[in-house]
């Protein structure tokens, strides 16, 4: 018979003398359990964990009834043990008549005073600490040690150190009892890269072609843009891409039979992949089921699948708008066709019916559902920008038919405001009934104001600049008390002030203001600006100026968002007046006198870039035309007369100026991080009368565009790989003029290093070509100066875009015989 011996503490008067040990022990029979009332639960050895929670875990309290013998103690020990705070747990029961006292004895695990890392660099230790989140004061357990060692190995495996080894060294703390210091001793070993990838069973495609389908799993090669580190998740994704490639070529049943990963040596690993290609399939018949909104003929034309064509699952899913990663920006899919008409819950399911050994029929089922109407539109996350300012940029209104195209348009508009993190702009779309949907725009504000303190070298001198740009001004609240935090905000109005100086020699001030919604009803912008600059021949503070060149100008313009050809087109028209005042100004076409310029400028453009800071897709182009009145046709001056004074010849300046610029962005990877940017631009300064050429305007080509200032109204065109103004034609330089025609081509590949609301960093490699020409007759778009290089861009909202580039100029500058060679460029607030 099973028996359990329980200790009974008998309550005896002191007069009762010594008893034999067996008198205080009572044998209890497992076959005859009894109920006892718990008189108390005493916990011993608990210092850190809250006692109330511990008592709850034990599950017993004074007044409870338990059965002895029983399994309550084993259950309580199991509960406490699972908490992992204790290295030993003992529960002792002491019956006294019909009651029982319970004593719980705990041995706490030692607390960790410090977590340390040995054998790695300081930055790696910091990164590990952030990843592991091990806090001082936590208890030590085998579970924590094993988990931490696994995480460390996984951390370094992701960095290419697949053979990293980790040991934990435990040392008692010299100051605190029951406390230890843990040091993870890490041996990273050699970085292991992929040495080779072998394919077997591929009859129709060479190994090299199959290898090109992999995005991240590539063997070591001279192409340093390709990753050769092995990551399990990347390898799994690349295997899917391999099968997608086979599917796109008609091999519907292609499969990976087996694959293996093995070490080649300490620094290299190999991958073997065995394939079964199977038969090549072709389309036979296509049928549609469930379509009532659009005809079968129309859907067939959009799908573009012809009988006898090679089976291509990737293209099929792309055109339907289904699959693992549908492109939500693509409005040419059949899914988009339905969703742009309100059919939010529509679904498309293609079914493949195999016929024979190499053919299949497509049966495409469409579940159209009901058209949805927008019910409520909410906005959250905006604290500095007023609700109505955001709502006027929305294309989604209550009562409107739901449209995915309107969703994408709103994302673009909100991103172009520059007040919100473009990476986080995404609507929360929630159907509330069978035909109503709520849309909530959850925004994350980012700083948009800028303070610019910079300097540049131009015309042989250093010019300092200070600029302030407020992009969320509110004139409505300008005189309201309490709205200056630090200035009245909320209406998205922009105010920019910039000053430049070189001391007494040169100074300039410009001010501009933009109201983006003139009248607050339509997106018609109003921009007014003014500027003043003065340069003298007093280089030092003790000198008295005897000559000066002063410029004053004002301008006002109105911008329109066009609805045709589409919503991305804009038109801007501006009227400007500029006055040049010269006195004893040697070295210029006119030494003393006044020149006036009255201009009408029109800019026609289209911009569909995904976001302003790091565009991933879209395009941006503009055509600008600036005209002055043809004064030579109006006044009675004979400009062919060489005796005509400069004051009369240049009293009113005339010209027509054409400028063309276009950019195109295209993502090169599925995650849209690696982006190709292609840009083309050109400019032409023309004349009405060959005897009345404008001495102002023109183009200065070369350098980083940070020359500090411009004096004669010219446009500065940055060209990496060459110094400032090095590409102005020699003929123009001899007559102290700028280029009157230029062209420039740029190709960049960009990759982001950090995409955060408060900082964006990306690297780039580029190739550029461009040149300046004296006149249109000598213009040759293929006669260019070439350069290439690499750089980095850092966007900080408070200062704008900062850039650093190294470039190599392959050709000599204008008038030179030796190639430009290595050049370093720094930029602020601009792009090349």
- pLDDT, one tens digit per residue, over 290-310 is 999 999 999 999 999 999 999
Average of pLDDT values for 441-467?
77
Determine which of 14-28, 221-235, 324-338 has the lowest per-residue pLDDT on average.
14-28
- CA pair distance 63, 42, nearest whole angstrom: 14
**Percent share of the chain, pLDDT over 70:** 91
> Reduced to 3 states, what is the DSSP secondary structure of residue 466?
strand
* Nearest of 294, 459, 282 to residue 358 by alpha carbon: 282
The secondary structure of residue 518, as a DSSP letter, is G
Determine which of 80-84, 447-451, 542-546, 660-664 has the lowest per-residue pLDDT on average.
80-84
- Are 763 and 772 within 8 A, CB to CB? no
Give the pLDDT band (50/70/90) at residue 5.
very low
* Nearest of 61, 18, 70, 31 to residue 43 by alpha carbon: 61
pLDDT at residue 91 in the model = 84
pTM: 0.72
Average of pLDDT values for 151-171?
90
Helix (H) or strand (E) holding 244: helix 232-248
Model confidence at 348: pLDDT above 90: yes
Determine which of 296-305, 546-555, 565-574, 701-710 has the lowest per-residue pLDDT on average.
701-710
For residue 320, report the phi and psi dihedrals to the nearest 5 degrees.
-80, -25
pLDDT averaged over every residue in the chain: 86
- Are 67 and 37 within 8 A, CB to CB? no
> Reduced to 3 states, what is the DSSP secondary structure of residue 310?
strand
Q: Which two tokens stand for residue 408?
A: 């994408």
* Nearest of 797, 805, 789, 791 to residue 760 by alpha carbon: 797
List pLDDT tens digits, range 715-745. 889 999 999 888 888 766 555 568 999 999 9
CB burial readout 21-54, b (16+ within 10 A) else e: eeeeeeebeeeeeeebebbebeeeebeebeeeeb
- Are 727 and 785 within 8 A, CB to CB? yes
Residue 106 has a CB neighbour count (10 Å cut-off) of 20
Model confidence at 7: pLDDT above 50: no
pLDDT at residue 39 in the model = 87
pLDDT at residue 1 in the model = 31
* Nearest of 755, 608, 616, 752 to residue 675 by alpha carbon: 616
104 vs 85: which has the higher pLDDT? 104
List pLDDT tens digits, range 624-648. 999 999 999 988 889 999 888 888 8
List pLDDT tens digits, range 672-703. 899 999 999 999 999 999 999 898 888 989 98
Model confidence at 15: pLDDT above 60: no
Q: Which two tokens stand for residue 257?
A: 């039979």
List pLDDT tens digits, range 170-180. 998 888 888 88
- 59: CB partners within 8 A, 6+ apart: 72, 75, 76, 79
User: For residue 646, with 0-12 CB atoms within 10 Å meaning exposed, 13-18 middle and 19 or more buried, which class applies?
Assistant: middle
State the Cα torsion 168-169-170-173 to the nearest 10°: -130
Alpha carbons within 13 angstroms on the beta-carbon side of residue 814 total 23
Alpha carbons within 13 angstroms on the beta-carbon side of residue 576 total 25
Model confidence at 137: pLDDT above 70: yes
State the Cα torsion 289-295-300-301 to the nearest 10°: -160
State the maximum Cα–Cα separation within the chain, in Å, rounded to a whole number. 144
- CA pair distance 613, 673, nearest whole angstrom: 13
Task: Answer whether the bond into residue 565 is a cis peptide, omega within 30°.
Answer: yes
Model confidence at 477: pLDDT above 70: yes
pLDDT at residue 253 in the model = 95
Model confidence at 607: pLDDT above 60: yes
List pLDDT tens digits, range 21-49. 333 334 455 667 888 888 888 888 877 76
């Amino acid at each position: 018979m099973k028996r359990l011996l329980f200790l009974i503490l008998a309550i005896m008067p002191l007069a009762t003398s010594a008893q034999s040990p067996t008198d205080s022990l009572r044998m209890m029979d497992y076959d005859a359990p009894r109920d006892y009332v718990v008189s108390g639960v005493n916990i011993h050895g608990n210092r850190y964990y809250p006692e109330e929670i511990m008592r709850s875990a034990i599950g017993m309290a004074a007044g409870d009834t338990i059965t002895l013998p029983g399994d309550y103690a084993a259950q309580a020990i199991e509960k406490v043990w699972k908490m992992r705070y204790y290295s030993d747990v003992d529960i002792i029961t002491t019956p006294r008549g019909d009651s029982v006292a319970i004593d719980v004895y705990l041995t706490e695990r030692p607390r960790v005073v410090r977590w340390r890392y040995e054998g790695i660099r300081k930055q790696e230790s910091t990164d590990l600490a952030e990843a592991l989140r091990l806090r001082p004061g936590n208890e030590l357990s085998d579970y924590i040690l094993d988990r931490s060692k696994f995480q460390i190995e996984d951390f370094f495996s992701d960095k290419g150190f697949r053979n990293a080894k980790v040991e934990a060294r435990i040392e008692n703390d010299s100051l605190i009892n029951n406390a230890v210091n843990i040091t993870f001793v890490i041996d990273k070993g050699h970085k292991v890269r992929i040495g080779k990838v072998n394919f077997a069973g591929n009859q129709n495609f060479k190994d090299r072609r199959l290898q090109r389908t992999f995005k991240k799993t590539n063997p070591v090669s001279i192409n340093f843009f390709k990753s050769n580190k092995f990551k399990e998740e990347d390898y799994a994704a690349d295997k899917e891409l391999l099968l997608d490639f086979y599917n796109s070529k008609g091999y519907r049943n292609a499969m990976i039979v087996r694959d293996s990963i093995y070490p080649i040596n300490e620094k290299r690993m190999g991958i073997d992949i065995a394939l079964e290609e199977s038969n090549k399939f072709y389309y036979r018949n296509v049928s549609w089921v469930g379509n009532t909104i659009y005809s079968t003929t129309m859907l067939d034309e959009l799908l573009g699948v012809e009988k006898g064509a090679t089976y291509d699952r990737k293209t099929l899913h792309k055109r339907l708008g289904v699959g693992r990663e549908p492109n939500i920006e693509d409005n040419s899919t059949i899914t988009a066709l339905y969703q742009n008409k309100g059919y939010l819950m529509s679904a498309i399911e293609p079914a493949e019916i195999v016929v024979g050994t190499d053919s299949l029929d497509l049966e495409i089922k469409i579940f159209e559902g009901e058209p949805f109407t927008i019910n409520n539109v909410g906005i959250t996350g905006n604290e500095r920008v007023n609700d109505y300012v955001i709502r006027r940029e929305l294309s989604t209104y209550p009562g409107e038919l739901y449209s995915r195209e309107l969703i994408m348009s709103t994302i673009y508009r909100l991103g172009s405001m520059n007040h919100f993190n473009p990476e986080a702009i995404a609507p929360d779309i929630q159907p509330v009934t069978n035909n109503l949907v709520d849309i909530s725009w959850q925004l994350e504000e980012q700083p948009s104001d800028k303070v610019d303190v910079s300097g540049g070298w131009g015309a042989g001198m250093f010019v300092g600049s200070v600029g302030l740009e407020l992009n969320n001004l509110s004139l409505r609240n300008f005189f309201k008390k309490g709205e200056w935090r630090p200035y009245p905000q909320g209406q998205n109005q922009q105010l920019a002030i910039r000053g430049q100086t070189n001391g007494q020699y040169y100074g300039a001030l410009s001010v501009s203001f933009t109201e983006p919604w003139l009248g607050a009803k339509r997106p018609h912008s109003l921009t007014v600006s003014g500027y003043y600059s003065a340069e003298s021949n007093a280089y030092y503070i003790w000198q008295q100026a005897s000559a000066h060149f002063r410029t004053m100008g004002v301008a006002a313009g109105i911008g329109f968002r066009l609805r045709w050809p589409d919503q991305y087109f804009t038109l801007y028209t501006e009227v400007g007046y500029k006055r040049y005042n010269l006195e004893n100004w040697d070295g210029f076409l006119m030494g003393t006198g006044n020149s006036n310029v009255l201009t009408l400028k029109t800019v026609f453009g289209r911009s569909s870039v995904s976001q302003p800071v790091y565009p991933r897709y879209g395009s941006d182009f503009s055509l600008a035309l600036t005209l002055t009145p043809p004064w030579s046709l109006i006044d009675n001056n004979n400009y062919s007369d060489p005796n005509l004074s400069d004051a009369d010849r240049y009293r009113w300046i005339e010209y027509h100026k054409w400028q063309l610029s276009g950019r195109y962005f295209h993502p090169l990877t599925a995650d849209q991080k690696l982006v190709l940017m292609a840009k083309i631009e050109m400019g032409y300064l023309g004349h009405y009368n060959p005897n009345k050429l404008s001495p102002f305007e023109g183009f200065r080509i070369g350098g980083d565009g940070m020359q500090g200032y411009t004096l004669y109204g010219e446009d500065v065109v940055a060209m990496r790989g060459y110094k400032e103004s090095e590409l102005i034609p020699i003929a123009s330089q001899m007559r102290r003029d700028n280029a009157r025609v230029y062209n420039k081509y740029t190709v960049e590949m960009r990759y982001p290093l950090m995409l955060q609301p408060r900082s964006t960093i990306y690297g780039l490699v580029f190739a550029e070509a461009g040149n300046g020409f004296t006149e249109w007759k000598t213009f040759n778009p293929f006669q260019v100066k070439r350069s290439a290089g690499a750089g980095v861009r850092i966007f900080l909202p408070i200062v704008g875009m900062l850039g650093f580039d190294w470039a190599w100029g392959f050709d000599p500058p204008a008038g030179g015989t030796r190639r430009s060679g290595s050049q370093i460029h720094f930029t602020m607030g601009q792009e090349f």
